[in-house]
Amino acid sequence: MACITLLLAILHVHKALCEAIFWDTAIQLSKTMTLECVYPLMDNLTQVEWTKISGAENVNIAVYNPNHPMHIDHNYFHRVHFLNATLEFRNMSLSFYNASEADIGIYSCLFHSFPGGPWEKKIKVVQSDSFDITAPSNDCLSEEPGQNVTLSCQLPNNWPVKQVMWEKVQPHQVDVLASCNLSQRTTYTSKYLRKTWSNCSQGTQSVLIIPNATSADSGLYRCRSEASTGEQKTYVIRLIITDDGANKHFILPIAGGSVSLLLVILIIITIIFYSRRRRRQVRTPLKEPSDKQSKVATNCRSPTSPVHSTDDEKEDIYVNYPTFSRRPKPRF
């Protein structure tokens, strides 16, 4: 009977440990999903391994060594690929084709480096709705880019806080930025690409600092505190970083469009002005030949025309006729 009780206790502890696997990023299940894994340090990398954690065993997915060809397990051969794998293989993000519910679970991305040693990131794939819908904001903070942004979370005073966790919540994924176990005074090293800092000391509030904030840091930040009794409290802050560059990019097209419109109007006005002026210039030469033709028509007359000009009336007329000698008339 004692052996059975001990066995049940061991199974219970094992189950609890399996369920309490800490993850760095939670991803929403979709047919085409990408598990992001980028090595942030400058150590020399020797090998990277992708596995799926299934209970007490790990199922191999892919192994890459620069001295050997890429090896992908036959169960994942036509279902996964590496989008951004480079020659140094620091970016070994794993993408899925036609993922299904069978792909729900926790995945491990393990880099072997020298002299840093192993570096592991755990990613949890869950079937969930948009993460930001389940995290309504309690507060809103607006800051300018380039500043060190400080997010603060008031911790409960009525019960002792055991652990505090800061997360960035996006529609398709949740990333753990900081995790502090206040009872054991241990700090979690974030696998998130953006470097942040958080205090891990007993106090009335927890602080998350984002250095040199940019527009990419805008979004929802969740502070989760947990007591030793299991009680939990959640506080969500919406951070808005006003991007001057984005405003300029927004203003410049408007200004450019206004200038272009004004230029088009000026061109149209100029064309209309010159076209009218040209018409006037064309009409004037056409009238002059018609006047000249009318004058020529009045000055030129036919020999039989009875109309004479006043100048013709004043001209002398000379007539040639023969002269006859005068003879005396004969007398009868």
Question: Which of 243, 264, 292 is the endpoint of a domain?
Answer: 243
Paired tokens of 191:
């696998």
Q: Do 30 and 120 belong together in one domain?
A: yes
What stretch of H or E contains 245? helix 244-299
Let me know if residue 67 belongs to a domain. Answer: yes
Residue 282 lies in a domain: no
Which of 101, 126, 151 finishes a domain?
A: 126
pTM here?
A: 0.68
Q: Is residue 147 part of a domain?
A: yes
Query: What CATH number is given to the structural domain containing 70?
Result: 2.60.40.10
First-to-last alpha carbon distance for the chain, in angstroms, is 204
Cα→Cα distances 259→236, 252, 265, 270, 331, Å: 44, 10, 10, 16, 118
36 and 120 share one domain: yes
Does residue 187 share a domain with residue 92? no
Same domain, 26 and 118: yes
Q: Which domain holds residue 212?
A: 139-243
Asked if residue 77 belongs to a domain, the reply is: yes
Judge whether 113 lies within some domain. Answer: yes
Which of 194, 220, 243 corresponds to the end of one domain?
A: 243
**Same domain? 159 vs 236:** yes
In a domain, 208, yes or no: yes
**pLDDT by position in tens, the chain (length 332):** 454 444 444 444 444 444 568 899 999 999 999 999 999 988 999 999 999 998 878 999 999 988 888 899 999 999 999 876 665 688 999 999 999 999 999 999 999 999 989 999 999 999 988 898 877 889 999 999 999 999 999 988 888 889 999 999 999 999 999 999 988 888 898 999 999 999 887 778 899 999 999 999 999 999 999 998 889 999 999 999 987 554 555 455 566 677 788 888 989 998 888 888 777 776 655 444 444 444 444 444 444 444 444 444 455 555 555 555 555 555 54
Tally of domains within the chain: 2
**Segments of 132-231 assigned E as strands:** 139-143, 149-154, 161-169, 173-181, 186-187, 197-198, 205-210, 219-227
